[in-house]
Amino acid sequence: MYLRLAVLLVLCVSLVGCDHATKQLALLQFRGAPLSLWSGSLTLTYTENRDMAFGLLGALLSADARLWILGSAKAVAVVGGALFLWLRRREGTWLQMGAASLVVAGAAGNLIDRVMRGYVIDFLRVPYWPVFNVADMAICLGGALWVISGLRTSPGAPTLPLPDKSKAAT
């Protein structure tokens, strides 16, 4: 039980460290000169995200209000996810626990940026998509894995009856 939590904690800390190391690299290397990779399919470029995903709050709230709202939302996600991991430490599947850990790590990585800098550093640009970072990838991957874990049949859940093979053979 505690081994699972230790593994998940190492995953979270490693992801937050990787997120911040790549953000620091973007700050130092790509701030003034973006680097295009794979014929423009991926560009490494430094941007400061003072809003939320897709710039949804930009026109609605002041910069200070966005900082507090987004910081609070990330803090709730981190604390809520950590609480979930603690409460489900015995019954949760590895997939659920890993998914929650990815979301917690991603939210923590962006929360640290928002609290320390007042904005989040994004640096990965692909065509037709907003610029993002390692923490954003962890959140999206964790969310996708969470959906997959919900689609999987858990023990005791009702299932569709399978055809009886003995009757089909006759």
Catalytic annotation, residues: 122, 136
In contact, 101 and 142? CB cutoff 8 Å: yes
Q: Please check whether residue 139 is in contact with residue 103, taking contact to mean a CB–CB distance below 8 angstroms.
A: yes
The beta-strand segments (E) located in the chain are: 35-37, 42-49, 120-125
The β-bridge partners of 122 are 47
Nearest in space to 153 (alpha carbons), one of 162, 143, 163: 162
CA 111 to chain centre: 12
Tokens coding 17: 């460290």
